[in-house]
Structure 1
Amino acid sequence: MKSVEALFTPQATPTAMQHLRADFPILGIRVGDKPLVYLDNAASSQMPQAVIDRLVRYQTTQHANIHRAVHHLSEVATQEYENARRKLQHFMGAREEKEVIFTSGTTDSINLVMHGYGRKFIQSGDEIILTTLEHHSNIVPWQMLAEEKGAHIRVVPINDSGELLVEAYEKLFNSKTRFVGLSHVSNALGTINPIKDMIAIAHQHGVPVLIDGAQAAPHLQVDVQELDCDFYAFSAHKLFGPTGIGVLYGKAHLLEAMQPYKGGGDMIASVTFEKTIYNELPYKFEAGTPPIAAAIGFGAAIDYLNQIGLDNIAAYEHDLLRYATEQIQAMPGVRIIGNSLNKVAVISFVIDGIHPHDVGTLLNQEGIAVRTGHHCAQPIMERFKVPATSRASFAFYNNRDEVDALVAGIRSVQKVFAL
């Protein structure tokens, strides 16, 4: 990676940005005869060469199963796996290593909390607060729990800009409230929620809060101690790392009180047919052989991001979002869904008279990758009375030329349907 600071200033030259983009080999491919314009980062971001190289190095010189062995490769693999955990601890500001649990991703992390905390502590008649902005992965597990336990879900509404109504949220709390599930950033709209204030409100009522941070971690500096959240989850594949690996932060005393989500090897201290004694944290929640290579690749992605700096990324993406919003808002027949003043670099839009799937198909012919559909956020689509949207989501390797290509692509789509 070349001179990082120079890349994230208003004076950054196209040549400087091209150096950074060169860290991501996939950005150089072509779709048919068109250069790839990758604007689907909210679904999955791309990996830099440094992460790819780290995965190859592990697989070719360090691969072995971890823990419970004394041979060289196992000791090396174990050390690298645990080093990745420490990198995640520092990245999110966790107090202790044991509060960092490796999972298969954000969805798995949320399910871990539902099974481990929810099934143990939530009973019939209890209430769980969610929001209209949640991804299905932070809705469906709690619906499953509510159905099993006879609990009830209450939902925080949003305004026409896609912002949560915090006063309405406060009014949902009562003596039956037992849990809050809350996204840090909406995957469908890009809205940044005021989670610190909302966590504080929940804690005034003695209610723990889980934060779905899948869309926040790639764009914002996260400090779980400053937020004082009880649980925080995110995935590597949205954070320039591999698929199949994610992380759950949990306050140690809550994790200690929870039952394991999965049983098997490594999550036990001892097993007899009469009784199993569970392992200490974090291994209590990491049954079986974990995705070792992916965890080490996750750590390499954190190293890469730390070199750039989340503050630099946030400032650059904010400028790119502003430029893209201005260009798209100026287009007749195009409407942006979700206009919060506090957003990450996500633009969901609809084009009059054209289904988003047709938009995505035609943009793909121009080499432009956007996501179309309900984005696993159907309550949001229902709120705005649209079946789906087209979503362009940006990362720090995107640039204004790609925004211009998107705008030109939208015009081409409109011309096709005007014929």
Structure 2
Amino acid sequence: MLTDSSRAADFPSLKGIHYLNTAAESIPPLCVNEAVAEYMQHKSFGMRGRDFHFPRVEECREITAKHLGLNTDEVSFCSCSSEAYNLLANALDLKPQHEVVVTDLDFPAGATPWLTAPEHSRPVSRLWRSRDGALNLVDLASLLNERTKLVQVSLVSFYNGHRIPYAKLRDMVRLLAPNAVLAVDVTQALGRVVLDCQDADILISSTHKWTLGIHGGGVIGIPQKSAARLTTKAGGWYHLSNAFDADRFENARIKPGALSFSVGMPSFAALYALNASLRYLDQIGVAKIAAHADPLVARVHEGLRELGIAPLCSAQPDNPSGIVAFRHENTTKINEALLAQNIHVMHQVGRIRIALHGYNTMEDVEKLLAALRSAL
């Protein structure tokens, strides 16, 4: 992943292209393809396949816990981050007198469950607005109080790559909103940046971006200190300790904390894939990936400014992420010019987002900047 030889061996589909869109979809290494093929082989055994499926889930739990800095019984899985946030809403059971803080740099999955609750039980939603592409803690302070029950943030914003100063955020929330759950979406960080938010009340991530996995998985991490408070009340079976006991139709005993978020049969294919991809990343080391890719991100920031383009979030040399984004009136034409040279970025009308992982190179960056210079 970090050398020409390993990149060619592990990511053959990258040959001839400059892929700068991992924040949307990653390119899985070959070991993930092999893991999914192994799942299909085990699935073909029918019921006997479960003798392999469930041990893979536990292996995946083990390596995921290592990446999150948690114990294995503090980690669980569901189908996607959206399901995780809806289960979190179920666990919190918020009321109209309660308040929730979300940010305008968050992904909808974490920001909307509090808006869709029935009107008679909907909490007050307070929006922490960014300024110049960054979230300023001074603006957060006035939103926090004893009625705040949830502060929801993304460690790295999907929108522009802003990475929140977690330690300062945590300290402020604990001081000014002592009753609040601190929830952190690490989808745009897990597998790319060294996490510093292990003591949040809940960590949530998807599995098909920087972790190099596939669709169909959601990661939940809840430390033991928050388990009792964050146990869902949803129906199901896999999260019950008495799912097949004699009293199962009279009393549902739900496993605490993260384990309560796995309400049904695991998405085995996604977890086979995640087990393989996280072990691949662990073998390399996320710190090494960041050390390799952060200078590429810095060069993109520098190159954009040379072209007279202001990134949506200024470079953060002390708190970097893998994402750079910018606005321009001609993004559609710019994207067409990039695609003509096999340069792949995320394009939405008016905005282009660039994402750099461990399989990217300085050649990718210089190709991008040269193509932008030509297009402009």
Give the structure-1-normalised TM-score: 0.81
In the alignment, is residue 22 of structure 1 matched against residue 9 of structure 2? yes
In the alignment, is residue 315 of structure 1 matched against residue 286 of structure 2? no
Task: Give the counterpart of 1:211 among 177, 184, 193.
Answer: 184
Name the CA shift for 1:102/1:86 in 2 (closer, same or farther; >3 Å).
same
Name the CA shift for 1:258/1:404 in 2 (closer, same or farther; >3 Å).
closer
Deviation at residue 283 of structure 1 after TM alignment: 4.7
Name the CA shift for 1:223/1:261 in 2 (closer, same or farther; >3 Å).
farther
Deviation at residue 254 of structure 1 after TM alignment: 3.8
Task: Tell me the alpha carbon deviations over residues 227-273 of structure 1, each in whole angstroms, 9 at most, x when there is no partner.
Answer: 42000011221111111112011133544444536433323314769
What is the aligned partner in structure 1 of residue 29 from structure 2? 48
Distance in 2 of aligned mates of 1:164 and 1:327: 24
Deviation at residue 365 of structure 1 after TM alignment: 2.3
Name the CA shift for 1:85/1:223 in 2 (closer, same or farther; >3 Å).
farther
What is the aligned partner in structure 1 of residue 91 from structure 2? 116
Task: Tell me the alpha carbon deviations over residues 200-232 of structure 1, each in whole angstroms, 9 at most, x when there is no partner.
Answer: 2222232210001111113212255xx420000
In the alignment, is residue 245 of structure 1 matched against residue 217 of structure 2? yes
In the alignment, is residue 193 of structure 1 matched against residue 164 of structure 2? yes
- The answer on whether the counterparts of 2:114 and 2:123 sit within 8 Å (CA) in structure 1 is no
Q: SS at 1:328's partner residue?
A: helix
Aligned partner letter, 2:80: G
Task: Map 1:242-321 onto structure 2 (within 5 A).
Answer: 242-252=214-224, 254-258=226-230, 260=232, 262-268=234-240, 269-270=242-243, 275-281=250-256, 283-321=259-297
- The answer on whether the counterparts of 1:101 and 1:285 sit within 8 Å (CA) in structure 2 is yes
Aligned partner letter, 1:345: G
Aligned partner letter, 1:338: C
What is the aligned partner in structure 2 of residue 325 from structure 1? 301
Task: Tell me the alpha carbon deviations over residues 137-180 of structure 1, each in whole angstroms, 9 at most, x when there is no partner.
Answer: 221112223845242112223232x2211122122212321110
What is the aligned partner in structure 2 of residue 93 from structure 1? 69
Task: Tell me the alpha carbon deviations over residues 109-147 of structure 1, each in whole angstroms, 9 at most, x when there is no partner.
Answer: 222212222xx2x21122111122211222111222384
- The answer on whether the counterparts of 2:75 and 2:259 sit within 8 Å (CA) in structure 1 is no
- Count of matched residue positions in the alignment of Structure 1 and Structure 2: 367
Name the CA shift for 1:150/1:110 in 2 (closer, same or farther; >3 Å).
closer
Name the CA shift for 1:311/1:364 in 2 (closer, same or farther; >3 Å).
same
Task: Map 1:328-367 onto structure 2 (within 5 A).
Answer: 328-332=304-308, 334-341=309-316, 342-351=319-328, 353-354=329-330, 356-367=331-342
Distance in 2 of aligned mates of 1:257 and 1:180: 15
Aligned partner letter, 1:135: F
- The answer on whether the counterparts of 2:42 and 2:53 sit within 8 Å (CA) in structure 1 is no
Q: SS at 1:22's partner residue?
A: helix
What is the aligned partner in structure 2 of residue 169 from structure 1? 140
- The answer on whether the counterparts of 1:24 and 1:46 sit within 8 Å (CA) in structure 2 is yes
Distance in 1 of aligned mates of 2:375 and 2:116: 41
Q: SS at 2:89's partner residue?
A: helix
The unaligned stretches of length 5 or more in structure 1 are 2-6, 8-15, 29-34, 66-70, 374-386, 415-419
What is the aligned partner in structure 1 of residue 368 from structure 2? 406
Q: SS at 2:100's partner residue?
A: strand
Deviation at residue 338 of structure 1 after TM alignment: 1.3
Distance in 1 of aligned mates of 2:373 and 2:265: 50
What is the aligned partner in structure 2 of residue 78 from structure 1? 54
Deviation at residue 48 of structure 1 after TM alignment: 0.3
Distance in 2 of aligned mates of 1:370 and 1:358: 13
Task: Give the counterpart of 2:80 among 88, 105, 123.
Answer: 105
Distance in 1 of aligned mates of 2:157 and 2:120: 27
Give the structure-2-normalised TM-score: 0.89
In the alignment, is residue 397 of structure 1 matched against residue 372 of structure 2? no
Task: Tell me the alpha carbon deviations over residues 57-96 of structure 1, each in whole angstroms, 9 at most, x when there is no partner.
Answer: 232246667xxxxx753222211211111111111111x3
Name the CA shift for 1:262/1:36 in 2 (closer, same or farther; >3 Å).
farther
Distance in 2 of aligned mates of 1:339 and 1:406: 19
Aligned partner letter, 2:31: A
Q: SS at 1:219's partner residue?
A: coil
Task: Tell me the alpha carbon deviations over residues 300-319 of structure 1, each in whole angstroms, 9 at most, x when there is no partner.
Answer: 11110011111111111111
Q: 193-202 or 144-153, which moves further after superposition?
A: 144-153
Distance in 2 of aligned mates of 1:168 and 1:299: 39
